[in-house]
Amino acid sequence: MTDDVNSSNQQYSGHICQCLSRISTTRNDRVFTIFGDRRKTGFEFVESVCKLANGLAKLGIQKGDVIAIAALNSDLYLEWLLAISFVGGVSAPLNYRWNFEEAKSAMEVVNPVMLVVDESCHTWYTQLQHNGADSIKWHVSIGDLPPSSSFGSGHVLSSEHLKKPLEKSQSMFDYCWAPDGIALICFTSGTTGKPKGVAISHTSLIVQSLAKIAIVGYAEDDVYLHTAPLCHIGGISSGLTMLMVGACHVLIPKFETLTALKEIEQHRVSTFIAVPTMMVDLISTIRKRSEEDGVRWRGGGSMKKILNGGGGLSTELVKDITTNIFPTAKLLSAYGMTETCSSLTFMTLYDPANGSPGIQLRRVESTPREGFLVGKPAPHVELRIMREGSSSPVGRILTRGPHVMVKYWGHQTVKQDQGWIDTGDIGWMDSYGDLWLVGRLKDRIKTGGENVFPEEVETVLLKHPGISSILVVGIPDPRLSEMVIACVQVRENWRWADHNSDFLQEKEMPVISTVILQKYCKEMKLSRFKIPKVFLLWRKPFPLTSTGKLRRQEVRQEAISKLQLMLPSYL
């Protein structure tokens, strides 16, 4: 390549495409990706990436150009992420669940020169013809264009059409870097507002991969099921980790319980990442198939590692997972965010080697503390607590290190107090170096002059065997300023017994109620002012943002409406 590429090579020490040389050797003639009936060896996968990268370069993609991708998971999606980086471009994965206006808003932030979509987002192409993003020069279908393509005329290219064989003088090692070493832009958002583009570097992604390999124990012989979408940092980070280690990839378009269980059994999947709702759905479906259809679960024996993120797992759920569903799997949990390239801390919830919870959890059981334990920082992560008062160990959680984002796209490089960035979370560090998360500062409830963080209350209540999911919010109160209430989803085979509930009355079912839960909070040593004054039975899924975060404000408004109808029985 050119001299300026060589100087870039000296400036940036890592590149995500360095995984290609390992894949082409260790997986050369072995199956590397599985997507439906399509199989590719390591050699075929690498060849496809290099041909696509060469085609992008010949088309005119320049270093620093942004290419947006809106598609379901597939082996082709992985190829595109690597090919874009190979030519020094910047990937901008868009959430396929967005509506067009959300997608257009995100594209206005990053100004992509190319939009790559599959059938799940094909309508965006048509809409862009009338209300388009001016920066887009090329529209591409991630797969072959179907015969009756809804993309319309010949203005859309296909992946196969773009691919060009490498010249003799080219090799898989001739990759380029974008300015600032940025590899991708991952979108995040709060409970309201437009998505923000988080610029993440090659270095951050590689360091995160190495941490997961070291802590979780990923290896070349793993078979990894992509359960998380490749438009989210969790799916991207773990997917890249498995590329770096040279493991086999099993891809499904999106998480559907029956499909995931089928793939686990068929391909003897050894690892995947999950959020609590996925685990609940897997357990519920396995149980239902066994009880109603007599279908025996045969996929538990191959599972070796499960990494949970996006929220805590209740004690009962951990027991279900490790006893009945995946008894041979090491179960870990991680805490992090998009701005820190996924995971900051890790914790072992269960280790089959000794058949017991990790040492961190055993300390929790013996010493109740404020907040909930999220584990020890990864070796590359530096954490600091900026305390609000001299007497309390609790404060804002700050972090710095090679994992931190470069910037929000369109803004200056992030610099704050010698490289520290504020996570927006509140917590403290114990004498063992473990982090305890108290909650999100913006979700704090002010009640009677005291601070209550919903996450702390939720963690306590999730340990009750009758609760499957819970969300705590504060609602206006003339005396307390805000009153703590809890919206509760009841586990299967439990009965909600409050007087105002029309929940099915079955005497043989165990009972759960407001009085029972308030008593439970006291037994768990939760401070009196933190105990919810009201518990509402919640029969539908909690609403999520397009980036998968809970819409607390939406639940709060609906809870207020419900309570107004129930007056004066509660208030």
CATH of the domain at 244: 3.40.50.12780
The answer to whether position 11 is within a domain reads no
Q: What is the pLDDT of residue 171?
A: 72
Cβ neighbours of residue 549 under 8 Å, at least 6 residues apart? 189, 190, 191
Q: What is the pLDDT of residue 368?
A: 53
Cβ proximity of 448 and 481 under 8 Å: yes
Cβ neighbours of residue 202 under 8 Å, at least 6 residues apart? 12, 14, 15, 16, 85, 177, 181, 182, 183
Residues 436 and 339 in one domain: yes
Q: What is the pLDDT of residue 369?
A: 63
Residues 477 and 426 in one domain: no
Q: What are phi and psi of 319, to 5 degrees?
A: -65, -45
Tokens of 540: 């539908």
Q: How far apart are CA 273 and CA 228, in angstroms?
A: 7
The answer to whether position 468 is within a domain reads yes
CA distances from 291 to 282, 294, 405 (A): 14, 6, 48
Residues 162 and 31 in one domain: yes
Q: What is the pLDDT of residue 480?
A: 84
Place of tokens 């390549």: 1
Q: What is the pLDDT of residue 191?
A: 42
Tell me what the mean pLDDT of segment 304-309 comes to. Answer: 95
Least confident piece of the model among 225-229, 368-372, 455-459: 368-372
* Range ranked top by mean pLDDT from 208-217, 273-282, 440-449, 556-565: 208-217
Peptide bond into 568 cis (omega under 30): yes
Residues 292 and 157 in one domain: no
Residues 24 and 104 in one domain: yes
Confidence of residue 294 (pLDDT cuts 50, 70, 90): confident
Domain with 140 in it: 17-218
* Range ranked top by mean pLDDT from 71-85, 158-172, 444-458: 71-85
Q: What is the pLDDT of residue 363?
A: 56
Q: How far apart are CA 487 and CA 243, in angstroms?
A: 40
pLDDT surpasses 50 at 148: no
Higher pLDDT, 285 or 419: 285
Cβ neighbours of residue 467 under 8 Å, at least 6 residues apart? 314, 461, 488, 489, 490, 491, 512, 517
pLDDT surpasses 50 at 1: no
Residues 386 and 460 in one domain: no
Q: What is the pLDDT of residue 7?
A: 47
Cα dihedral 9, 13, 19, 25 in deg (nearest 10): 70
Least confident piece of the model among 349-363, 405-419, 515-529: 349-363
Q: What is the pLDDT of residue 553?
A: 86
Residues 381 and 335 in one domain: yes
Cβ proximity of 191 and 548 under 8 Å: no
Burial of 486 (C-beta count, 10 Å sphere; 0-12/13-18/19+): buried
The answer to whether position 3 is within a domain reads no
The answer to whether position 424 is within a domain reads yes
Q: What is the pLDDT of residue 97?
A: 86
pLDDT surpasses 70 at 367: no
Least confident piece of the model among 36-45, 49-58, 451-460, 513-522: 451-460
The answer to whether position 118 is within a domain reads yes
User: How big is the CA angle at 478 (ends 474 and 479), to the nearest 5 degrees?
Assistant: 90
Tokens of 504: 């099915």
Tell me what the mean pLDDT of segment 500-529 comes to. Answer: 80
The answer to whether position 411 is within a domain reads no
Residues 432 and 451 in one domain: no
Cβ proximity of 307 and 334 under 8 Å: yes
| 510-537: burial string, b at 16+ Cβ within 10 Å, e else | eebbbeebbebbeeeebeeebbbbbbbb
Confidence of residue 502 (pLDDT cuts 50, 70, 90): very low
Place of tokens 């988080």: 198
Cβ proximity of 89 and 65 under 8 Å: yes
The answer to whether position 400 is within a domain reads no
Residues 455 and 428 in one domain: no
Residues 304 and 349 in one domain: yes
Q: What is the pLDDT of residue 364?
A: 57
Nearest CA to 474 among 459, 455, 491, 460?
Answer: 455
pLDDT surpasses 80 at 13: no
Mean pLDDT of the chain: 87
pLDDT 10s digits, 84-109: 999 999 999 999 988 888 899 899 99
Residues 449 and 427 in one domain: no
Domain count along the chain: 3
Residues 78 and 181 in one domain: yes
| 408-439: burial string, b at 16+ Cβ within 10 Å, e else | bbeeeebeeeeebbebebbbbbeeeebbbbbb
Cβ neighbours of residue 417 under 8 Å, at least 6 residues apart? 398
Q: What is the pLDDT of residue 439?
A: 84
CATH number at residue 465: 3.30.300.30
The answer to whether position 293 is within a domain reads yes
